[in-house]
Structure 1
Amino acid sequence: MLFQQIEQYFNNRETIGVQPGLDRVNKLLKYVNYPDKNLPIIHIAGTNGKGSTSQFIQSALLANNYKVGSFTSPSFYGIRGFIQINQQPVSESVFSHAFQKMLPAIEMLDKEENSPSNFEILTVLSFVCFEDNVDIAVVEAGMGGMLDTTNVISPILTIITTVSYDHTAFLGDTLVEIAEQKAGIIKPLIPMITGVSGAAYDIIEKKTEEMYSPLFVLDKDFTYESITMNRFIFNISKQQFHINLDMSGKHQHYNASIALYGLHLLREQGWQLTEEKIIEGVEQAKLPGRLEKIHNNPSIIVDGAHNLEGIHALVDAVKRQYSKSDHHILFAAFKDKDVENMINCLKENLSNVNVTTFDHVRAPSLEELELLDTNQPQLLVYDWKKYIDTAFEHKNECYYITGSLHFISLVRQYVKELQRNMLNDS
Structure 2
Amino acid sequence: MTYDEAIEFLYGLRWFGAKLGLENPRRLAAWAGHPERQLRFIHVAGTNGKGSVCAFLESVYRRAGYRVGLFTSPHLVRFGERIQVNRQPIPESAVARLVARMQPRLRRFPPDQHPTFFEVVTVMALEYFVEQECEVVIWETGMGGRLDATNIVTPLAAVITNVQYDHQRWLGFTLREIATEKAGILKPGRPALTAADEPEALEVIRTTALRLGCPLRFVGSDAAQAAWLRSLSLPLPGEHQRRNAALAAETVRVLQHELPVSQTALETGLQEAFWPGRFQRLRLPGGGELVLDGAHNPAAMEALCRTLDEQYPGIRPVVVLGVMADKDLAGIARHVTRRAARVLCVPIPSERSADPDRLARACQEAAPDLPVRVYPSLAAAWEQVREERLVVVTGSLYLVGQALELLGSLGTPARDEKPLNTWTAPALSGQAPGV
Q: What TM-score do you get using the length of structure 1 for normalisation?
A: 0.90
Match for 2:367 among 366, 372, 376? Answer: 376
Residue 116, structure 1, aligned to residue 115, structure 2: yes
Which residue of structure 1 lines up, in the alignment, with residue 423 of structure 2? Answer: none
Could you tell me whether the CA contact under 8 Å between 2:6 and 2:95 is conserved in 1? Answer: no
State the Cα deviation string for residues 194-250 of structure 1 (Å, max 9, x = none): 111211000000000000010011139x7231xxxxxx635xxxxx77322111111
For the residue of structure 1 that corresponds to 2:227, the secondary structure is strand
Could you tell me whether the CA contact under 8 Å between 1:62 and 1:68 is conserved in 2? Answer: yes
Q: In terms of mean alpha carbon deviation, does 205-214 or 348-357 score higher?
A: 348-357
Rounded to whole Å, the distance in 2 between the matches of 1:58 and 1:350 is: 34
CA displacement at 1:371 relative to structure 2: 5.1
Match for 1:243 among 224, 232, 235? Answer: 232
Distance 1:97 1:383, change over 3 A: closer
Could you tell me whether the CA contact under 8 Å between 2:161 and 2:196 is conserved in 1? Answer: yes
Rounded to whole Å, the distance in 2 between the matches of 1:16 and 1:295 is: 40
Could you tell me whether the CA contact under 8 Å between 2:298 and 2:328 is conserved in 1? Answer: yes
State the structure with bigger RCO (CA 8 A, min sep 6), 1 or 2. Answer: 2
CA displacement at 1:277 relative to structure 2: 1.1
Which residue of structure 2 lines up, in the alignment, with residue 399 of structure 1? Answer: 391
Which residue of structure 2 lines up, in the alignment, with residue 336 of structure 1? Answer: 326
Rounded to whole Å, the distance in 1 between the matches of 2:87 and 2:76 is: 12
CA displacement at 1:326 relative to structure 2: 4.4
Equivalences for residues 276-287 of structure 1 within 5 A:
276-287=264-275
Residue 386, structure 1, aligned to residue 380, structure 2: yes
Q: In terms of mean alpha carbon deviation, does 2-11 or 323-332 score higher?
A: 323-332
CA displacement at 1:319 relative to structure 2: 1.5
Rounded to whole Å, the distance in 1 between the matches of 2:348 and 2:265 is: 41
State the Cα deviation string for residues 32-65 of structure 1 (Å, max 9, x = none): 0111102000000000010110000100111111
User: Structure 1 unaligned runs (5+)?
Assistant: 226-231, 235-239, 421-426
CA displacement at 1:97 relative to structure 2: 2.4
State the Cα deviation string for residues 98-132 of structure 1 (Å, max 9, x = none): 222222111222x4531111011011110000013
Match for 1:301 among 291, 303, 311? Answer: 291
Could you tell me whether the CA contact under 8 Å between 1:176 and 1:203 is conserved in 2? Answer: yes
Equivalences for residues 196-275 of structure 1 within 5 A:
196-197=196-197, 198-219=199-220, 223-225=223-225, 233-234=227-228, 242-267=231-256, 269-275=257-263
Which residue of structure 1 lines up, in the alignment, with residue 418 of structure 2? Answer: none
Q: In terms of mean alpha carbon deviation, does 359-368 or 317-326 score higher?
A: 317-326
Could you tell me whether the CA contact under 8 Å between 2:318 and 2:385 is conserved in 1? Answer: no
Could you tell me whether the CA contact under 8 Å between 2:60 and 2:268 is conserved in 1? Answer: yes
CA displacement at 1:354 relative to structure 2: 2.6
Could you tell me whether the CA contact under 8 Å between 1:334 and 1:364 is conserved in 2? Answer: yes
CA displacement at 1:76 relative to structure 2: 1.8
Residue 31, structure 1, aligned to residue 31, structure 2: yes
Rounded to whole Å, the distance in 2 between the matches of 1:121 and 1:294 is: 35
What one-letter code is carried by the residue in structure 1 that aligns with 2:206? E
The percentage of counterpart residues that share the same residue type is 27
Could you tell me whether the CA contact under 8 Å between 1:326 and 1:397 is conserved in 2? Answer: no
User: Structure 2 unaligned runs (5+)?
Assistant: 413-435
Could you tell me whether the CA contact under 8 Å between 1:324 and 1:350 is conserved in 2? Answer: no
Distance 1:89 1:314, change over 3 A: same
CA displacement at 1:358 relative to structure 2: 2.3
Rounded to whole Å, the distance in 2 between the matches of 1:310 and 1:261 is: 22
State the Cα deviation string for residues 355-381 of structure 1 (Å, max 9, x = none): 221231110223433554732354323
CA displacement at 1:89 relative to structure 2: 1.1
Q: In terms of mean alpha carbon deviation, does 342-351 or 28-37 score higher?
A: 342-351
Residue 78, structure 1, aligned to residue 67, structure 2: no
CA displacement at 1:417 relative to structure 2: 7.8
Residue 149, structure 1, aligned to residue 149, structure 2: yes
Rounded to whole Å, the distance in 2 between the matches of 1:342 and 1:179 is: 21
For the residue of structure 2 that corresponds to 1:243, the secondary structure is coil
Which residue of structure 1 lines up, in the alignment, with residue 167 of structure 2? Answer: 167
RMSD over aligned CA atoms reads 2.1
For the residue of structure 2 that corresponds to 1:248, the secondary structure is coil
Match for 1:364 among 354, 358, 363? Answer: 354
CA displacement at 1:391 relative to structure 2: 2.4
What one-letter code is carried by the residue in structure 2 that aligns with 1:294? L
For the residue of structure 2 that corresponds to 1:329, the secondary structure is strand
What one-letter code is carried by the residue in structure 2 that aligns with 1:274? S
Which residue of structure 1 lines up, in the alignment, with residue 406 of structure 2? Answer: 414
Equivalent pairs counted in the alignment come to: 404
